[in-house]
Structure 1
């Protein structure tokens, strides 16, 4: 059989350091086939004798399944047996992955309960086409010539299913997977710099002057825009031999740094320390300093001949970071962005990073599995941000990038991974995580903080708050602006006493109870399912004035507009009006991106009570509110002595961590153990019957299952949450995947049960 190699890109280059030694290649390879709609396990294929010396872990190959050639990645080897096995048909070296990256994908698949082939696809070039085949040896009656690229659908239409299989088996048609190709665009190049432009042809002169400064030419579209000229002027220059037009691939979005590196000295010692030792590190500092510190890490990595991967939660932040690195890093280094909106250019950046042509790759969570030729450092910016984790239906791995980043640093020769944030996640900060710490850089300024005790009052907005707003509008700081941050949870609110601030808690696990019915005030626990019935009066002081925690944006906006007599703007994900006004109400994600003279949090209690993780999230929001204020922060609460509130308003992260970590340890929450949240959709009876009769009995030792509870925010009562706990991540992931599969089988039986897995959720 001939060796048909897919017509792809150049040879694979091994990683610079930490590369695994070449494995002893055995006659049978385990291949994970990259079929998007199928969660297939790896299959065994015989390696043809002429390919035995070339096949290694990570090699992209073409292997048959049901008679058709499919793209797959070699993930392991096994001893030859007497089984009849199909043979690998061809190699696709240009799509091969480093062996260490395959190990990382296998780890990620286990940690996220995803099929291995789904994770491997994330590591390959985006936009990879797996539906095209190349005609190699056409039959006389075929309508295609040798070398033609034809879709599988068209081939099947002409040849029929069996005819296509026979043609592939005979090697007359070759499966040709390929990444998207950059389109060719027109470039203009100066041919005759001495050409004298007519005196009246100012547009032609502008075009020629622009080209003279660029020996290699300029893209035509950009040239015409810069010279404010039309194509007619350019055509005249071409006809006269002054300029030539040629086709080139569209330029890669790789930029070059232009700085001196002089502003990075104060961070150099920490950067060198992290890279010299490797492993995972926390570097606490104000967000404003994180970019320069990450640039210092990148510069140290470049000096060692290594690449740096920088991960940031938002696409907008990617472009801002690229601009900052261009300014901060010494001139001549290459920086590229990588995110879901790059289009075809993203595959080209993927290739450049794989070949070592990019010194610093800045991307969102989708970049965490991009292969690097010389991996040296990973920087994770704004580490606690939940956007670092892919939500269901969105691109990326559905676990926080901190997990594969730490695994990658360990697998790829102990490269350094540095997490930047003034308030890192507790699961990362806990001693049990094994993450090292660089000396923290504390904020050198902190705003004045006022706490308004709302116990005993029924008002939503205190006179103190309104007076502070008026004072800022009339006599405040530079812009006289007030930002009002409302934590609009929308579900799982708690119940508190308006008189003394008492909060109802679960008697079984001490979590604040969730308010299920705002009229009857029925309470239940989101964690263990305990139902406490309805609350009528406070058990602490006897008051019947019971309030739901949390104020809605519209209610606060209307109250402020009425009391202050000014137009109040709004800034949320769904609504943006009057954002340039003197008073703006909105959710934290939008409001805390700006600076304000006065930052107001009218209901801090909604930040302190709720699911596991609510207090940590509340601390971050209050800390960020202080960072966003130029002058003063004002907080309303019925819990003024709460330790989270006090620590946040002092900017004391260590005090907050010291008080919260023992609680996580006692509950067995990450990093002390691992959780799998399984969302089941179906009737209450179906869910409970399935859990007790089919799911709970299959769990192995060391995996605990809590009873199903209504999913917060599900108003129709058809979504239920089942929580699994274990100290072993692998055992938990296997159990979660098994539970989801059995639930899917139940669905197929007609009872309407669907399942979704969320490994180690950020908030429970």
Structure 2
């Protein structure tokens, strides 16, 4: 029974209050557990409180997710409350919804909402015995204690209260500060350098980090030493402050074209889709942030990559009105990230620009959330990377609803998962007037059907003409993985699954073409459309094209990929899409557009359209595309920058196949022996399927050096149905020896 406010009961008869605690062990197998709340801790224990509670005789860090009355299942007490760590109750509710909707263990979601770098295994020494190498009050890791005391000795020390688990945030770096002594007014008339330094310190409020003071005042360390000797200032050690950027307002005029639209949207509240040209995205975000700050609220900006975060933070510093501050938030900050987290919680930072790790960042006054480059796959964490396997678009939508903040999704080509009319209606997303690109290149599509050449004479001539005008050409290719699609060199047809309409992937290790969704397979044979036997793997390699261009053009072509860069200032540069299209070129060439169109996966066509659009944005004069599919609607619309016509073609196709956004998918990747995997699928997963949930057979995936993994896809019109089935499968796998499973609900790529 839950004890209601106002109820009275005697101390002897009042039932003990209990807390449901989610221990931060990232597994589906451990649900929240009930613990008694000792009377002395009751004022401090509420939803979102971080606590230490026992599990199998060992103290663990957890978060309170519910408060209850008497509960017979609560056999142990909460041990302590960690006051520096907590999650806002509204964020606890958000974590619950993310966990339920995307089949992610609740502890993993809660951990993402806590400050970064928590020392979860840190112990405080309370009552050291004679001979211990640690003093009372010192912090020691569990590993160190076990090494010094032994396993049994550590257990005894915990039981006797000599040591206690005391998780803590990373200790801030201590740095030197210069502080004016009380009532100090030294006579510095004959010491101009000391006088200027002292005046600069006064302008900073009488205290400053020494390094910043000396640098910005243009002073020497000797002048500072003299001020110390005179007794005017003192040097102290203080925590290094969060790395905040003070705004200047120097480029405020750039924001004006977007101000009225942004201000109106922020004032009305809700969710908005804003199609802005790529080059104008930063100014549109600045307009949203400016309107948010006008109301005294904080703004959160989410960007897909660290470089974009740093670029946007620097841009906002210049264009926002003076008197505010901006902070970047990403893994590269090290200890500084914890300081930014605290500044956001306290409300001392106005704008936070972060990667997906900031999606659950606690804000004192949340006003707006802006998701930049919304369809970018980097907004969702891949296995082994920081963050949650859920796109920030979904987190931002739900968070904005719960906290009554305004959310903006910015991109010239928003994801169809958001743009579809059904989704916009269900999620109450309104579309703002779109901005058109200021310029667009001339586009030329070269039909390669019937040609055996890798590079056409048209392509080579375009490179030569650009070089003659002293322009620069970017040649963009797709790096191929282990599974490659195949197409007909004669007519351009791509081999597709007859059931799923997805390109078949060639798995050389089996000599088969395989559908990665349903497992359908067939041997490589003649083209089904024209009967030609000229069926070959699609895709040109970066090095091959680079070598051929260097030979034909007589210049060494440069190279730009995610991993390396060589001769990047050459007149012709070859590379992969992500890095190449961040730059501007006089001409952009796609020698093998079909490699993008032939990608396996439900979203391959949409990703191809976005790439063609980005290629056009990056080209100031010419976009040249080689293809054997010259009439493909994604290609035609992409090179024209016509998002609406692409959506009109692609959405009906997705609807007819039941693909997102008109259905939901859960991808389950099992790792284990074939017998164990298939046994788990048939005995645990299949019985757990609810009505309307379809399941594919296990499809083998090749992983070099890691053995074989198996993928099973679940499909349903409702997300909750596939999430429930996937969660049950994950719980069963946790109980099965030799079996692991990774779950992704509505992944960006399948």
When normalised by structure 1's length, the TM-score is: 0.88
What is the CA distance between 1:719 and its match in structure 2? 2.5
What is the CA distance between 1:52 and its match in structure 2? 4.1
The CA deviation string for residues 192-215 of structure 1, in whole angstroms up to 9 with x for no partner, is 66336679xx8x798668657645
Change (3 A) 1:630 1:276: same
Structure 1 residue matching 2:721: 3-state secondary structure: helix
Query: 1:483 maps to what in 2?
Result: 474
Q: 1:26, 1:77 within 8 Å by CA — same for their partners in 2?
A: no
Structure 1 residue matching 2:331: 3-state secondary structure: coil
In structure 2, C-alpha distance between the alignment counterparts of 1:68 and 1:697, rounded to whole Å: 36
Question: Which residue of 740, 743, 748 corresponds with 1:757?
Answer: 743
Question: Which residue of 34, 37, 47 corresponds with 1:57?
Answer: 47
Kindly indicate whether residue 587 of structure 2 is the aligned counterpart of residue 598 of structure 1.
yes
Question: Which residue of 408, 432, 439 corresponds with 1:438?
Answer: 432
Query: 1:101 maps to what in 2?
Result: 91
Change (3 A) 1:713 1:23: farther
What is the CA distance between 1:470 and its match in structure 2? 0.1
Structure 2 residue matching 1:30: 3-state secondary structure: strand
Query: 1:304 maps to what in 2?
Result: 295
What is the CA distance between 1:227 and its match in structure 2? 7.3
Kindly indicate whether residue 22 of structure 2 is the aligned counterpart of residue 29 of structure 1.
no
In structure 2, C-alpha distance between the alignment counterparts of 1:183 and 1:731, rounded to whole Å: 48
Structure 2 residue matching 1:247: 3-state secondary structure: strand
Query: 1:469 maps to what in 2?
Result: 463
What is the CA distance between 1:656 and its match in structure 2? 0.6
Structure 1 residue matching 2:690: 3-state secondary structure: coil
The CA deviation string for residues 150-173 of structure 1, in whole angstroms up to 9 with x for no partner, is 444555567776676666567665
Query: 1:740 maps to what in 2?
Result: 730
In structure 1, C-alpha distance between the alignment counterparts of 2:269 and 2:367, rounded to whole Å: 9
In structure 2, C-alpha distance between the alignment counterparts of 1:633 and 1:327, rounded to whole Å: 33
Kindly indicate whether residue 179 of structure 2 is the aligned counterpart of residue 186 of structure 1.
no
Structure 1 residue matching 2:333: 3-state secondary structure: coil
Give unmatched runs, 5+ long, in structure 2: 8-14
Question: Which residue of 552, 557, 574 corresponds with 1:563?
Answer: 552
Kindly indicate whether residue 476 of structure 2 is the aligned counterpart of residue 505 of structure 1.
no
In structure 2, C-alpha distance between the alignment counterparts of 1:136 and 1:630, rounded to whole Å: 68
Change (3 A) 1:458 1:83: closer
Query: 1:614 maps to what in 2?
Result: 604
Kindly indicate whether residue 556 of structure 2 is the aligned counterpart of residue 583 of structure 1.
no
Q: 2:123, 2:165 within 8 Å by CA — same for their partners in 1?
A: yes
Change (3 A) 1:694 1:154: closer
When normalised by structure 2's length, the TM-score is: 0.90
Q: 1:182, 1:250 within 8 Å by CA — same for their partners in 2?
A: yes
What is the CA distance between 1:546 and its match in structure 2? 2.3
What is the CA distance between 1:112 and its match in structure 2? 3.3
Q: 2:26, 2:105 within 8 Å by CA — same for their partners in 1?
A: no
What is the CA distance between 1:259 and its match in structure 2? 0.7
In structure 1, C-alpha distance between the alignment counterparts of 2:673 and 2:40, rounded to whole Å: 57
In structure 1, C-alpha distance between the alignment counterparts of 2:138 and 2:467, rounded to whole Å: 70
Question: Which residue of 529, 540, 543 corresponds with 2:529?
Answer: 540
What is the CA distance between 1:559 and its match in structure 2? 1.3
What is the CA distance between 1:486 and its match in structure 2? 0.4
Query: 2:449 maps to what in 1?
Result: 455
In structure 1, C-alpha distance between the alignment counterparts of 2:644 and 2:52, rounded to whole Å: 54
Question: Which residue of 699, 703, 708 corresponds with 2:689?
Answer: 699
Moved more, 101-110 or 164-173: 164-173
The CA deviation string for residues 337-361 of structure 1, in whole angstroms up to 9 with x for no partner, is 1111112221121111112222111
Q: 1:28, 1:44 within 8 Å by CA — same for their partners in 2?
A: yes
Question: Which residue of 640, 661, 664 corresponds with 2:630?
Answer: 640
The CA deviation string for residues 508-558 of structure 1, in whole angstroms up to 9 with x for no partner, is 22222223349x9742322222122221x3333333322322111011111
Change (3 A) 1:266 1:93: same
Question: Which residue of 347, 356, 367 corresponds with 2:338?
Answer: 347
Structure 2 residue matching 1:276: 3-state secondary structure: helix
Change (3 A) 1:634 1:156: closer
Change (3 A) 1:468 1:56: same
Give unmatched runs, 5+ long, in structure 1: 1-20
In structure 2, C-alpha distance between the alignment counterparts of 1:714 and 1:279, rounded to whole Å: 46
In structure 2, C-alpha distance between the alignment counterparts of 1:370 and 1:322, rounded to whole Å: 17
Q: 2:16, 2:36 within 8 Å by CA — same for their partners in 1?
A: no
**How many residue pairs end up in the alignment?**
731
Q: 1:336, 1:360 within 8 Å by CA — same for their partners in 2?
A: yes
Q: 1:195, 1:242 within 8 Å by CA — same for their partners in 2?
A: no
What is the CA distance between 1:635 and its match in structure 2? 0.5
Structure 2 residue matching 1:418: 3-state secondary structure: strand
Query: 1:368 maps to what in 2?
Result: 359
Q: 2:28, 2:727 within 8 Å by CA — same for their partners in 1?
A: no
Q: 2:124, 2:139 within 8 Å by CA — same for their partners in 1?
A: yes
Moved more, 30-39 or 255-264: 30-39
Q: 2:35, 2:74 within 8 Å by CA — same for their partners in 1?
A: no
Kindly indicate whether residue 195 of structure 2 is the aligned counterpart of residue 195 of structure 1.
no
Kindly indicate whether residue 37 of structure 2 is the aligned counterpart of residue 47 of structure 1.
yes
Query: 1:4 maps to what in 2?
Result: none
Structure 1 residue matching 2:84: 3-state secondary structure: helix
Change (3 A) 1:165 1:523: closer
How large is the RMSD of aligned CA atoms in angstroms? 3.1
Question: Which residue of 318, 321, 328 corresponds with 2:312?
Answer: 321
What is the CA distance between 1:452 and its match in structure 2? 0.6
Question: Which residue of 377, 402, 405 corresponds with 1:411?
Answer: 402
Matches within 5 A, 1:261-272: 261-272=252-263
Change (3 A) 1:56 1:330: same
Matches within 5 A, 1:66-85: 66-83=56-73, 85=75
Change (3 A) 1:241 1:682: same
In structure 2, C-alpha distance between the alignment counterparts of 1:116 and 1:693, rounded to whole Å: 25
Structure 1 residue matching 2:498: 3-state secondary structure: coil
Change (3 A) 1:26 1:459: farther
In structure 2, C-alpha distance between the alignment counterparts of 1:357 and 1:61, rounded to whole Å: 26
Matches within 5 A, 1:522-541: 522-535=512-525, 537-541=526-530
